[in-house]
Amino acid sequence: MSALAHVPASAGKPAPPPVRRGRSRLLPYLLLLPGAAWLLVFFALPLVQLASASLYDPSGSLTTGYAMTWAFGNYPDALQAYWPQFSRSFLYSAIALVLALLMGYPLAYAIAQKAGRWKNLLLVAVVAPMFTSFLVRTLAWKTILSDNGALVGLLRDVHLLGPDGRLLATPIAVVLGLTYNFLPFLVLPLYASLERLDPRLLEAASDLYASPLRAFAKVTLPLSMPGLIAGTLLFFIPATGDYINAELLGTPNEYMIGNVIDSAFLVRLDYPQGAALSFLLMAAILAIVFVYLRKAGTEEVL
Amino acid sequence: MKGQQPPAGDLRLVDLTKRFGVFTAVDDLTLAVPQGSFFALLGASGCGKTTTLRMIAGLEQPTSGKVLLGEQDIAGLRPYRRPVNTVFQSYALFPHLDIHENVAFGLRRRGIRKVGDQVERMLALVQLEGYGRRRPAQLSGGQQQRVALARALINHPQVLLLDEPLGALDLKLRRQMQIELKRIQTEVGITFVHVTHDQEEAMTMADTVAVMNAGRIEQLGAPADIYEYPATAFVANFLGQSNLLAADAGGRAADDVLVTAHGARYSVPAGRARLTDGPAFLGVRPEKLHLADGPDRVPAGHQHVGGVVTDTSYVGVSTQYLVRTAWGSELSAFAANSGLGGRLAVGTAVTAHWDPRHAFLLPRAAGADDQTAPLLDGPPVGALP
């Protein structure tokens, strides 16, 4: 019987009637059509366009026009010019991710398992900042971190900051901004995973000689893995490409790759370089995601 | 390793109390479970039996009282420090681990590296060889139940706690597992404390049954002793069924206690009477209540009441009758379908009689009326085989 246990239940049933109307067979494709068309026009075509722009002759300009010269050299040139911003992007978002995990995991766990009747209110509190614009929220952080603000004053008083130490326009401000702005993207999928965690499994673990710490490592953490993977990706990918936080809370010394791409397209009008940087960022993130999913195990996520 | 330690001794609960707010779930409970025995806590849902079990496991902190294992009070120990394992009602198997790792979980947490042989032996014991690489979700309810059992047993606990582990199984599988559990318990010789609301389950498996009601133990003893001579009206009707007639005990004559019920005089052997004076229930089990055509056909020495058959229900091994007495109570009587004697039709006037040695006398709250059980759909406990 063990050999048969895996055969799907439908195997024994008679096949569905072979005669099917053409329309019903087409239905799934018809349902796909709007979304597919949208993706084609607004994602696939621009992507091709961007790819070709990244290979334009770099000596062209908007006024003189660009020539398609398969200039693969744009890629190493861009990387050479902007590798500090590249690595800074990954460094900042990695630090922000660690901070967000330290805050977000306990938060998601508390909401999912311990909040009781406050659960919905707390969830709203997590999402509520999203009701205002990303820009407005980041500008608010500018006020919070400002040199004359209460926070800096307090830190100076307890000598965590020097007498003229500051937070704004430092890497700390950018990382804090990234942490804050993308935290909900980490918390929500984690919450969804932890909410399904059966507390009786923790009782069972404790009954089977697992201390609270071991029970967390062996039961809670593995069972929250799908949410953890989804959450870290949803956090890390937009945080790496972000340019608002560095722009508003940092200085050119804190600029991330997003700022460079932004200025390539909108200030310097160097389209080939902007496109090449965009593709490099995309490739780097894809590579990281791929390795990460390979390591973390994907069966429950993808 | 814990498994090789000498047995710690009997499990004793002393004055154990658990309150949730104003609600007292377990009320000053004291009992002893001899080492190596199969002990059943039997009671309706909400009677405190699961709370008692959880206090032994350490998943619930007692409000007061002691949990003694041998001479050691384990009431203050965290669950993962107790030599006690639990088979949970929901099984609580770890869905992210395969069967092998589920069973090995307790060993690994105690730092034992080589677990393969032990796990294989344990899977063989519960007849799940070759299932090691499956996930819990790929097993049937009965198989999951056995994994839960193996996962607890592999640790050789001093006490194994079973929290209604068979509740989710269908009837046939449940019977099978009852026999299986009893076999395993005999084989491994560990103290089993089994919580159930199923009287038959408790009687089939346990050496000792404690019937719980409202956080207290109503009666404790061997299943047959409790069934044959219940201590309270609750036990008489929770463990099987009883016909309890409101009676008044009034003195003794030789070895008998004399009682008056509904204007007639009866007697009960003094050894089967819980009291000799005052309001009492005169009890007779339905299978010990026989039906005769008339008072003159009653065997010598039997006592009897007259009545009319108001309902019959044929359940295969026996026929169950309801007999309405002159004062309006309905007694139930089971007659074995042994092929002797015909079946009685509804409306037949009969005389219900019993051997006084099968009757018992229980205390009754003043003013309480007869308690007789309605007919059941299935054969009740103690119905003829």
Q: Is the model's pLDDT at A54 over the cut of 50?
A: yes
Q: Is A297 on the interface with B (CB under 8 A)?
A: no
pLDDT for B327: 87
CB contact under 8 A, A204 and B92: yes
CB contact under 8 A, A218 and B105: yes
CB contact under 8 A, B86 and A201: no
pLDDT for A177: 95
CB contact under 8 A, B109 and A214: yes
Residue A23's SS3 state is helix
Phi, psi of B213 (to 5 degrees): -150, 130
Q: Which helix (H) or strand (E) holds B252?
A: strand B243-253
Select from A192, A257, A193 the least CA-distant residue to A224: A193
pLDDT for B380: 43
B50 touches B90 (CB < 8 A) = no
Q: Is the model's pLDDT at B96 over the cut of 60?
A: yes
Task: Tell me the CATH number for domain B2-224.
Answer: 3.40.50.300
Q: Is the model's pLDDT at A19 over the cut of 70?
A: no
DSSP A224: T
Distance CA A176, CA A137 (A): 12
Residue A5's SS3 state is helix
Phi, psi of A48 (to 5 degrees): -60, -45
Choose the weakest-confidence range: A80-89, A283-292, B248-257, B370-379: B370-379
Residues of A in contact with B79 (CB under 8 A): 203, 206-207
State pLDDT tens for residues B347-384: 999 999 999 999 999 999 887 888 876 544 444 444 34
Phi, psi of B287 (to 5 degrees): -75, -10
For domain B241-371, the CATH class is mainly beta
- What is the nearest CA distance from B147 to chain A, expressed in angstroms? 13
pLDDT band of B71, cuts 50, 70, 90: confident
State pLDDT tens for residues A209-234: 999 999 999 999 999 999 999 999 99
pLDDT for A11: 43
pLDDT band of B93, cuts 50, 70, 90: very high
When the pLDDT of each residue in chain B is averaged and rounded to a whole number, the result is 88
Amino acid making up residue A298: T
Distance CA B129, CA B357 (A): 52
Mean pLDDT on A58-83: 87
When the pLDDT of each residue in chain A is averaged and rounded to a whole number, the result is 88
Domain-by-domain residue ranges, chain B?
2-224, 241-371
Instruction: Classify B339 in phi/psi space as left (phi over 0), alpha (psi -120 to 50) or beta.
Output: left
pLDDT for A61: 80
Give the rounded percent of residues in chain B with a pLDDT score beyond 90.
Answer: 62
Q: Is the model's pLDDT at A184 over the cut of 60?
A: yes
- Which residue in A5, A198, A210 is closest to B109 by CB distance? A210
DSSP B96: T
User: Options 2.60.40.10, 3.40.50.2300, 3.30.950.10, 1.10.3720.10; which CATH number does A82-296 get?
Assistant: 1.10.3720.10
Q: Is the model's pLDDT at A20 over the cut of 90?
A: no
Choose the weakest-confidence range: A17-31, A83-97, A105-119, B228-242: A17-31
CB contact under 8 A, A200 and B90: yes
- Which residue in B92, B151, B155 is closest to A203 by CB distance? B92
Mean pLDDT on A28-52: 93
- What is the nearest CA distance from B86 to chain A, expressed in angstroms? 7
pLDDT for B310: 92
Query: What's the whole-model pTM score?
Result: 0.80
Cβ atoms within 10 A of the Cβ of A137, count? 16
Q: Is A21 on the interface with B (CB under 8 A)?
A: no
Residue A68's alpha-carbon distances to A60, A279, B262, in angstroms, are 10, 17, 112
pLDDT band of B342, cuts 50, 70, 90: confident
Mean pLDDT on B216-235: 93
Q: Which helix (H) or strand (E) holds B286?
A: none
Q: Which helix (H) or strand (E) holds B85?
A: strand B84-87
Most confident listed range (B170-174, B338-342, B357-361): B357-361
Closest chain A residue to the Cα of B93, Cα to Cα:
A201
Q: Is A25 on the interface with B (CB under 8 A)?
A: no
Domain-by-domain residue ranges, chain A?
82-296
CB contact under 8 A, A209 and B95: no
